[in-house]
């Protein structure tokens, strides 16, 4: 008996018309036809593709922002799936780098958006190369060291950035609109920078989602507030952007707001233009990375994953793709990236992490 296939023909589907895709957004008076055109021509850099970054990238791509630069140093794990909206179980099982996983997912729902993914740790040596042509930067990181680096770079360049944070049921955002670096007339009134409100990074233990947990609703609130402010900026309406650090606790319904409308007199960063974080002063090469992990980013050299697999296989379980290699030797897991950077899980002892790196990867 002859069977007739019910599968659709391999003919390519027609492309989706942008006017139909964005029709409801264009109807909104704050966007309109001109705003949508501006979004299509815009470029946003997002530092971090975890919970907040994945949500922000998804919202911006669905809104039609033409170019996104995604930077993230980490890979997808099962514990991410509760809140990191661009990833699925296959990404976690493959331990796919978050920036690349995000790029692939965005291509599935909006192929018209250009996504530049960088599997990298943002440091003083590469920040200009990775973010140099992004007119607006979104913070979606999990550490203040990187946030102060972004603040230094943005103030030096006269480039706006938007801080966002979420932990537990708490969400917070703040817009930073620096003075133009060249002394030219600005399209906005300058606001306080991060160092105006917090001259130094917090000292002592800092809450993380690994110690305090996190609600996906808090993440999505932070990203929604951040992206809404981004849309105001990209459509040429910086005067509508909020000029305060605003925070919400979704569990207790508490809300707080700190004014940030003007730069603080005497601020070492935006006032005195001292950029110690951008200069890399006292920046550690080995850092705690949450979830019982240490990141080693002092080595910068290309890695031959196939050769490394052959070398490590006698000592433990090895999996790799063209983006990273994972080596498991209980109780530790070592994830090695293409540039020589590594995340060692199973310890918070820097000495142990360095020893494992030297023993199995080499100095």
136-184: pLDDT as tens digits: 999 999 888 899 999 999 999 999 999 999 999 999 999 999 998 776 6
The pLDDT, as a whole number, for residue 143 is 82
Q: Is there a domain that residue 333 lies in? A: yes
Domain span including residue 104? 18-259
Q: Is there a domain that residue 8 lies in? A: no
Residue for token digits 């002859």?
A: 2
Q: Is there a domain that residue 2 lies in? A: no
Residue 342 is part of a domain; what is its CATH number? 3.30.310
Closest to 198 in 3D by CA, of 174, 219, 228 = 174
198 and 146 share one domain: yes
The pLDDT, as a whole number, for residue 288 is 61
177 and 67 share one domain: yes
For the segment 16-42, the average pLDDT, to the nearest whole number, is 96
Residue 54 is part of a domain; what is its CATH number? 3.40.50.720
Q: Is there a domain that residue 127 lies in? A: yes
89 and 228 share one domain: yes
The pLDDT, as a whole number, for residue 250 is 96
- Is residue 330 exposed (0-12), middle (13-18) or buried (19+ Cβ within 10 Å)? exposed
270-294: pLDDT as tens digits: 999 999 999 987 666 666 666 788 8
Q: Is there a domain that residue 139 lies in? A: yes
95 and 163 share one domain: yes
Would you please indicate which residues are annotated as catalytic (active-site) residues? 209
56-84: pLDDT as tens digits: 999 999 999 999 999 998 889 898 899 99
Pairing of strands 286-288, 170-176: unpaired
The pLDDT, as a whole number, for residue 2 is 37
57 and 204 share one domain: yes
Cα torsion angle, 218, 223, 229, 235, sign: negative
The pLDDT, as a whole number, for residue 360 is 85
What percentage of the chain reaches a pLDDT higher than 90?
A: 66
Q: Domains in the chain: how many in total?
A: 2
Taking the C-alpha atoms of residue 345 and residue 82, their distance in angstroms, rounded to an integer, is: 20
């Amino acid at each position: 008996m002859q069977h007739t296939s019910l599968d659709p023909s391999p003919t390519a589907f027609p492309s989706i018309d942008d006017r139909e895709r964005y029709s409801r957004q264009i109807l909104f008076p704050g966007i309109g036809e001109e705003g949508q055109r501006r979004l299509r021509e815009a470029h946003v850099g997002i530092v971090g593709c975890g919970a907040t970054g994945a949500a922000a990238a998804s919202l911006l791509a669905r809104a039609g922002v033409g170019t996104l630069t995604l930077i993230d140093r980490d890979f997808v794990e099962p514990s991410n799936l509760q809140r990191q909206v661009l990833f699925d179980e296959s990404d976690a099982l493959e331990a796919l780098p978050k920036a690349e996983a995000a790029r692939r997912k965005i291509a599935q729902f909006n192929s018209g958006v250009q996504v530049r993914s960088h599997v990298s740790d943002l440091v003083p040596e590469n920040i200009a190369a990775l973010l140099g042509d992004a007119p607006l930067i979104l913070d979606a990181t999990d550490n203040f060291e990187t946030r102060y680096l972004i603040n230094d770079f943005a103030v030096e360049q006269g480039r706006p950035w938007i801080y966002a944070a979420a932990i537990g049921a708490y969400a917070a955002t703040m817009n930073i609109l620096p003075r133009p670096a060249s002394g030219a007339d600005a399209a906005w009134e300058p606001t306080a920078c991060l160092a105006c409100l917090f001259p130094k990074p917090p000292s002592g233990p800092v809450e993380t989602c690994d110690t305090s947990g996190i609600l996906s609703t808090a993440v999505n609130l932070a990203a929604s507030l951040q992206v809404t402010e981004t849309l105001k900026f990209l459509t040429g309406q910086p005067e509508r952007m909020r000029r305060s650090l605003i925070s919400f606790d979704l569990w207790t319904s508490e809300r707080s707001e700190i004014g940030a409308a003007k730069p603080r007199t005497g601020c070492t960063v935006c006032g005195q233009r001292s950029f110690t974080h951008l200069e890399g002063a006292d920046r550690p090469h080995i850092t705690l990375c949450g979830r019982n992990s240490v990141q080693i980013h002092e080595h910068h050299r290309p890695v031959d994953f196939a050769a490394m697999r052959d070398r490590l296989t006698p000592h433990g379980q090895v999996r790799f793709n063209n983006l990273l290699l994972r080596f498991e030797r209980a109780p530790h897991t070592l994830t090695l990236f293409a540039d020589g950077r590594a995340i060692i899980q199973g310890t918070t002892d820097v000495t142990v992490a360095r020893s494992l790196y030297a023993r199995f990867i080499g100095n």
